Amino acid sequence: MTTASVASQARDDRAAVDKAVSLLLAFGDRASSGVGVSELARRTQLSKSTAHRVLGMLERNGVVERVGTDYRLGERLHELGRAVYAPGHEGVRDLLLPYLTDLYDLTRHTAHLAVLHGADVVYLAKLYGHRSALVPSRIGGRLPAHATAVGKVMLAYDPKAAAQATSGPLTRFTRRTITDAGALSTELDRIRRLGVAFDDEESRPGLSCVAAPVLDRAGRAVAALSIAGRRGHIDTQRLSTDVRRIAAAASQAWARQAPRRGAGLC
């Protein structure tokens, strides 16, 4: 193969990767529900035939999948995302998912299981019903811990993570977001006294949440459980008892599994 042909092949390879990535990014907030080929081609400024060809290659590799005549992101991509954003937490999800199910069954509000990843929270699981309020979280999604109930409750029981979170600027998402390090430290002290954390429109206008920690034997948070709903339609104060009780049961289950963590639990 000549030098010119090698260079040409390299350009073709880069172009194919660029097209594949642009198509994946073009799904946007319809990554789960699906987008048609024509719309994806329009969003990426590719021809419809090129978009169809590249989507076919992605489908063969499990990165996208068909939903009728549309495409959505595939399970392979979600697996990669979980490996990047919540490495080593498969055991957390497997062990605690039954307690998340209990929480949803009891409250019928959108329920989350999350872990800390640096100064962010990563959502490992989410349960909701057709009558649940629309909560714009997603499995594998990340948010700064200081702006969420699950994040604050884990920071309250993890001094190292709390120090990391307060060492830099605290991003404001709404007028209620805590953006002062001193105020956040005071809030974390209060959370430790209560055993639960609240998010009253701190991460998103109109959204209220309550969360409780899943603790290890040393009292450190390994995860958090929460419920969320529209402000005014969810009584987070009343439901905090249920969240705390189920998180306590999950903590006991985690403690019982502690000797086996080296065999797959983190």
146 and 240 in a single domain? The answer is: yes
**Low-confidence winner among 14-28, 73-87, 99-113, 200-214 (lowest mean pLDDT):** 73-87
Give which of 207, 186, 199, 185 is closest to 240, Cα–Cα: 199
* 233-255 per-position pLDDT tens digit: 999 999 999 999 999 999 999 99
Assess if residue 1 is contained within a domain. Answer: no
Q: Show which of 73, 97, 113 is a domain's final residue.
A: 73
Give which of 236, 257, 245 is closest to 99, Cα–Cα: 245
Assess if residue 78 is contained within a domain. Answer: no
41 and 87 in a single domain? The answer is: no
Looking at residue 234, which CATH number applies to its domain? 3.30.450.40
Q: Show which of 52, 73, 94 is a domain's final residue.
A: 73
Assess if residue 135 is contained within a domain. Answer: yes
171 and 105 in a single domain? The answer is: yes
15 and 98 in a single domain? The answer is: no
Q: What is the per-residue pLDDT for 225? A: 98
94 and 66 in a single domain? The answer is: no
- Quote the Cα angle for 264-84-218, to 5°: 45
Assess if residue 2 is contained within a domain. Answer: no
Assess if residue 167 is contained within a domain. Answer: yes
Can you tell me the distance from the alpha carbon of 44 to that of 211, in angstroms, rounded to the nearest whole number? 40
89 and 153 in a single domain? The answer is: yes
Q: Show which of 73, 92, 126 is a domain's final residue.
A: 73
Assess if residue 97 is contained within a domain. Answer: yes
- Res. 162: pLDDT tops 70: yes
* 44-70 per-position pLDDT tens digit: 999 999 999 999 999 999 999 998 899
134 and 209 in a single domain? The answer is: yes
The number of domains in the chain is: 2
131 and 58 in a single domain? The answer is: no
Which comes out higher in pLDDT, residue 20 or 80? 20
Mean pLDDT of the residues in the chain: 87
Q: What is the per-residue pLDDT for 264? A: 38
Give which of 98, 95, 90 is closest to 122, Cα–Cα: 90
According to DSSP, the residues that pair with 112 across neighbouring strands are 126, 226
Q: Which domain holds residue 142?
A: 83-263
87 and 216 in a single domain? The answer is: yes
Where does the pLDDT of residue 88 fall: very low under 50, low under 70, confident under 90, or very high at 90 and above? low
Looking at residue 68, which CATH number applies to its domain? 1.10.10.10
Q: What is the per-residue pLDDT for 19? A: 93
Mean pLDDT of 164-179: 92
Q: What is the per-residue pLDDT for 139? A: 81
67 and 45 in a single domain? The answer is: yes
